[in-house]
Amino acid sequence: MRSSSLLILLLGFVHIAFAADLLGFVQWNDVCPSYEELGAAKILLDAGRYSAGVTRSGNFSIPDVNPGVYVLSVLSHDYTFEQLRVDVSDASSIPEVKSYVFGTPLLSPSAVTLPYPVILSPRSKNSYFKPHESFSLLGMFRNPMMMLMLFTAGMMLAMPYIMKNLDPQSLEEIKNRREMVASIQNSVQGGDLKSGLSALLAVEDKTKASTSGAKAQPNNSGTTIQQRKVGKGGKRR
């Protein structure tokens, strides 16, 4: 019984001999000028393995930190602090403080050593609320969906005037194209691709025939006019 008690006391003395107190303070700045602005905050080592609160003067002390490598962070609701790497060797040595980037391995420390006691400065204030955007007529017209709707409405209004000013040949081509698209859609929906292809070829032949016929009409009229002129000349003689 006595031997176990002596062993526990001995381990306690060893722990006290090697454990160190980590000291530091929060440096107030324009981002966070006072303790009242900071509110409830905690200084953490390795995400809560060791922790301490911040006093009104900004100081903090984490007692009995065992030798090792730690990541120091600040748990604050309203402010963001940078993280630091802290190397604790023993109680007689000063802890070594270095900058730390989240996600980088601890085996490759920074070459720059920061002063001790640890100095923490608020970097930015957290914003959890986004103000509602006010109504903007220009912003509404910059919306791609709104532009597409306006373009579609404009085309619907302008289509009757465009169709009215087209020549008969162009109207016939548009009609043939509509028939072609309708036949292809019907054949695809019915699962008969062969008839759809046949309808497509038939519409194309029809379009070519109507185009060639329209081109041939001026030539016939031209020859008729020439024949009339020749006939008139013969009579004069």
Q: How would you write the pLDDT of the chain (237 residues) with one tens digit per residue?
A: 455 544 444 444 444 455 788 999 999 999 999 999 998 899 999 888 899 999 999 999 999 899 989 999 999 999 999 999 999 987 778 889 998 888 787 777 777 889 999 999 999 998 888 777 777 777 777 788 888 888 888 888 887 777 777 777 777 777 777 777 777 777 767 666 666 566 666 656 665 655 555 555 554 444 444 444 445 444 444
Q: Measured between alpha carbons, how far is 116 from 66 in angstroms, rounded to an integer?
A: 17
| Domains of the chain and CATH, by start | 20-125 (2.60.40.1120), 137-215 (no CATH)
Q: Measured between alpha carbons, how far is 102 from 84 in angstroms, rounded to an integer?
A: 9
Q: Which of 203, 207, 209, 206 is nearest to 187 (CA)?
A: 203
CB atoms < 10 A from the CB of 31, how many? 13
Q: How far is CA 213 from the centre of its chain?
A: 58
